[in-house]
Amino acid sequence: MTGKLDGKVAFITGAARGQGRAHAIEMAKEGADIIAVDICRDIPSNPYPLATPDDLAETERSVKEIGRRVVARIADVRERHELRDAVEAGVADLGKIDIVVANAGILPMAMGRAFDAMSFVDASDVDLLGVMNTVAVTVPHLPNGASVIITGSTAGMIRGTTDNPNMGPGGRGYGWSKRVLIEYVEEMSMALADRMIRVNCIHPTNCNTHLLQNDGMYSMFRPDLTQEGKQATREDAEPLFTIFQAMPIPYIEPEDIAKLGVFLASNDSRYITGQQIRVDAGSLLKWPNGPG
């Protein structure tokens, strides 16, 4: 059986777990070889643990188990030279890059911690500059007809979510970065259109990853417990996750995003570019002016 991505190579950031790992697995299932990149260490301003080398090794193992080739590299998307080294290693081994998934992201919320201006810097450096760095180092390798897929967020479209003052500078940096990405995608799609390279952005609602499933997010959904001096748990918060979506679900799964990623990476989407594609279970329709 021929896969939709046979013969293609995908460069994926934030690939050690969550949406990045899901992209790697789903694209490998469709015949793509993978260059998997992740920072694999914590960033001090970000309160929840980031991926580890073991997580990246698990992504590598999963791709190999499917029967595809994979190059896994540790690199920080904030550092263009590290990304360039990862690109060169991947191209040296796999020969090319046809698909780029700029997925790495953090949400360094305050939620009861002291506000730290560096959380804004780190959020924007990873979530915005990291995307721009990823595109910058991969575009010289892309053939005509390639696909660039960027991970956005409905937080960039719905006011009053991550720019909630209680989330601190990091939440604001996350939301601001995702808003700027909207225009970046549109402008970059025009810059690459004459080469038939598509650039599109996927905007998820709550997604079942560590960015959602962490103590800071639980506290945001259960401020009553925080005020009582208690740490909210997943069980405390999850019933309230449904508030954002029109459909009665708490979150989507990484695979829901990755399956769209396969479509956008394939020739089935050859004339789709510059688009902001929401996988949000109706959240923007439910909250066009923000929650509240």
The catalytic position among 174, 184, 218, 251 is 174
- Tokens 């909630």 correspond to 164
The alpha-carbon radius of gyration of the chain (Å, integer) is 18
- Give the separation between CA 237 and CA 252, rounded to whole angstroms: 16
Catalytic annotation on 218? no
Dihedral sign (CA 124, 128, 134, 139): negative
- Give the separation between CA 227 and CA 95, rounded to whole angstroms: 55
CA 63, distance to chain mean position in Å, is 19
- Tokens 């394939």 correspond to 266
Residue 252: closest CA among 32, 13, 22? 22
Reported as half-sphere exposure (CB side, CA atoms, 13 A), residue 226 has a value of 15
Which residues have a catalytic role annotated?
Answer: 174
